[in-house]
Chain A
Amino acid sequence: MKRALLIVLLLTGCNRSHGGGGGGSPAPPVPASLVAVPSDLGVIAPGAAIPTVAFTAYDGAGNVIALSGTLDWTLTNLDTAGIVTTGSQSFAGTPTATVALSPIAIAALYRVTGTINGTAISTNVPLAILTIQDAPGPFVAMKSGRVGNTYSDSVAFAVPGATFWMLATGAIPAGIVLDSATGGFSGAPTIAGTSTFTLYARAGAFATPVRCALSVFSAAETEWVAGQSFIPNGPATVTTTSDSFTFTNSFNATSYTTNLRIYHPTLASITSPAALLVFHRGRGFNYLDYDNILTRISRYGFICASVEDYQAFFSPAAPAPSTYYDSTRPDAGMLLASGAQEAALNRMVARSQTIGDAFENKIDADRLFVGGHSRGGGATHGSHTRALSLKIRGVIDCMFFDLRYFTETEPPATAPDYDIPTLFPRLPALSLVAENDNDLTYPIADQLIDRVQGPSTAVTIYGACHNYTGDINAAESGSAPYITRIVQQDIMVNFMVAFLRRWADLDLSVEGFLYGGEWMGSTAVGVNYHRGLSAPVLVDDFQNAGAATNLLGGANSFTGGSRVETSVYPSSFDNFGSLGMKHNILTFSATSSTYKTVLPNTNVSPTRRLLWRCGQTTATGYDWLTLNVRITDGSGATSTVTIFDAAAPSSAYLPDYTGAPRVYDRFVEVQVPLSAFGGVNLSSVASVEFLFTFSSTPTASQQFYMDQLRFE
Chain B
Amino acid sequence: MVRAAWIAVFLLLASPQEATQERPLGDPPPMEAESTLAPDRSTPESLLRDLFDARRRDDLPFLARCHQSTAGKRAIDKLDLALAWRTFSQRSVGPLWLKVEAAFDAGRFTTQIDTDRAAVVFNIGGSQERTTLHLQRIENLWYVR
Assembled-state Cα–Cα distance A476/B95 (Å): 12
Assembled-state Cα–Cα distance A282/B28 (Å): 48
Q: State whether A374 and B127 are in contact (beta carbons under 8 Å apart), knowing that A441-B99, A478-B98, A564-B21 are contacts in the complex.
A: yes
Q: Are A700 and B60 in contact (CB under 8 A)?
A: yes
Q: Are B92 and A443 in contact (CB under 8 A)?
A: yes
Tell me the nearest residue of chain B to A701, going by C-beta: B85
Q: Are A562 and B85 in contact (CB under 8 A)?
A: no
Point out the residues of chain A lying under 8 angstroms from B24, CB to CB: 562-564
Q: State whether A573 and B22 are in contact (beta carbons under 8 Å apart), knowing that A665-B90, A700-B81 are contacts in the complex.
A: no
Point out the residues of chain A lying under 8 angstroms from B20, CB to CB: 571
Assembled-state Cα–Cα distance A566/B19 (Å): 13
Q: Is B32 an interface residue (CB 8 A)?
A: yes
Q: Are A589 and B30 in contact (CB under 8 A)?
A: yes
Point out the residues of chain A lying under 8 angstroms from B60, CB to CB: 700-701
Interface size class of B (residues with CB under 8 A): 35 or more
Binding site of B, secondary structure by majority: helix, strand, loop or mixed? mixed
Q: Are B134 and A562 in contact (CB under 8 A)?
A: no
Q: Is B96 an interface residue (CB 8 A)?
A: yes
Partner of B21, one of A437, A440, A566: A566
Q: Is B26 an interface residue (CB 8 A)?
A: yes
Q: Is A600 an interface residue (CB 8 A)?
A: no
Q: Are B29 and A441 in contact (CB under 8 A)?
A: no
The winner among A330, A571, A589, A665 for most chain B CB atoms within 10 A is A589
Q: Which of B79-93 contact A (CB under 8 A)?
A: 79, 81-82, 84-93
Partner of A665, one of B22, B92, B128, B133: B92
User: How many Å from the CB of B1 to the closest CB on chain A?
Assistant: 32
Partner of B87, one of A330, A440, A556, A570: A570
Q: State whether A663 and B91 are in contact (beta carbons under 8 Å apart), knowing that A282-B127, A476-B126 are contacts in the complex.
A: yes
Point out the residues of chain B lying under 8 angstroms from A566, CB to CB: 21-22
Tell me the nearest residue of chain B to A699, going by C-beta: B81
Point out the residues of chain A lying under 8 angstroms from B82, CB to CB: 585, 587, 700-701, 703
Q: Is A557 an interface residue (CB 8 A)?
A: yes
Q: Is B78 an interface residue (CB 8 A)?
A: yes
Fill in one digit per residue for A312-336: 1 if any B CB lies within 8 Å of its CB, else 0.
0000000000000001001000000
Q: Is B114 an interface residue (CB 8 A)?
A: no
Fill in one digit per residue for A547-580: 1 if any B CB lies within 8 Å of its CB, else 0.
1100000001111111111101111111000000
Q: Which of A33-72 contact B (CB under 8 A)?
A: none
Q: State whether A570 and B86 are in contact (beta carbons under 8 Å apart), knowing that A564-B24, A587-B79 are contacts in the complex.
A: yes
Point out the residues of chain B lying under 8 angstroms from A561, CB to CB: 26-27
Q: Is A237 an interface residue (CB 8 A)?
A: no
Interface size class of A (residues with CB under 8 A): 35 or more
Q: State whether A569 and B127 are in contact (beta carbons under 8 Å apart), knowing that A562-B26, A563-B24, A585-B82 are contacts in the complex.
A: no
User: How many Å from the CB of B15 to the closest CB on chain A?
Assistant: 15
Point out the residues of chain A lying under 8 angstroms from B27, CB to CB: 558-562, 589-590
Point out the residues of chain A lying under 8 angstroms from B111, CB to CB: none
Q: Is B144 an interface residue (CB 8 A)?
A: yes
Point out the residues of chain B lying under 8 angstroms from A572, CB to CB: 87, 133-134, 144-145
Q: State whether A547 and B22 are in contact (beta carbons under 8 Å apart), knowing that A573-B96, A573-B133, A665-B91 are contacts in the complex.
A: yes
Point out the residues of chain B lying under 8 angstroms from A485, CB to CB: none
The winner among B28, B84, B128, B133 for most chain A CB atoms within 10 A is B128
User: How many Å from the CB of B124 to the closest CB on chain A?
Assistant: 8
The winner among B26, B30, B124 for most chain A CB atoms within 10 A is B26
Point out the residues of chain A lying under 8 angstroms from B134, CB to CB: 572-573
User: How many Å from the CB of B12 to the closest CB on chain A?
Assistant: 17
Q: Are A563 and B25 in contact (CB under 8 A)?
A: yes
Point out the residues of chain A lying under 8 angstroms from B96, CB to CB: 441-442, 573
Q: Which of A274-290 contact B (CB under 8 A)?
A: 282-284
Q: Are B32 and A700 in contact (CB under 8 A)?
A: yes
Q: Are B22 and A564 in contact (CB under 8 A)?
A: yes
Point out the residues of chain A lying under 8 angstroms from B145, CB to CB: 571-572
Partner of A562, one of B28, B95, B124, B127: B28
Assembled-state Cα–Cα distance A569/B128 (Å): 18
Q: Is A537 an interface residue (CB 8 A)?
A: no
**Which residues of B line the A interface, CB within 8 A?**
20-30, 32, 60, 78-79, 81-82, 84-93, 95-96, 98-99, 124, 126-129, 131-134, 144-145
Can you list the 7 inter-chain pairs with the closest CB atoms, starting with the nearest? A558-B26, A700-B81, A570-B87, A564-B22, A441-B95, A441-B96, A439-B126
Mind listing 30 A-B residue pairs with CB under 8 Å?
A282-B127, A438-B95, A439-B128, A440-B128, A441-B96, A442-B96, A443-B93, A547-B23, A557-B25, A558-B26, A560-B27, A562-B25, A562-B26, A562-B27, A564-B23, A564-B25, A564-B79, A569-B86, A570-B88, A572-B144, A572-B145, A573-B131, A587-B29, A589-B27, A589-B29, A700-B32, A700-B82, A701-B90, A703-B85, A703-B86
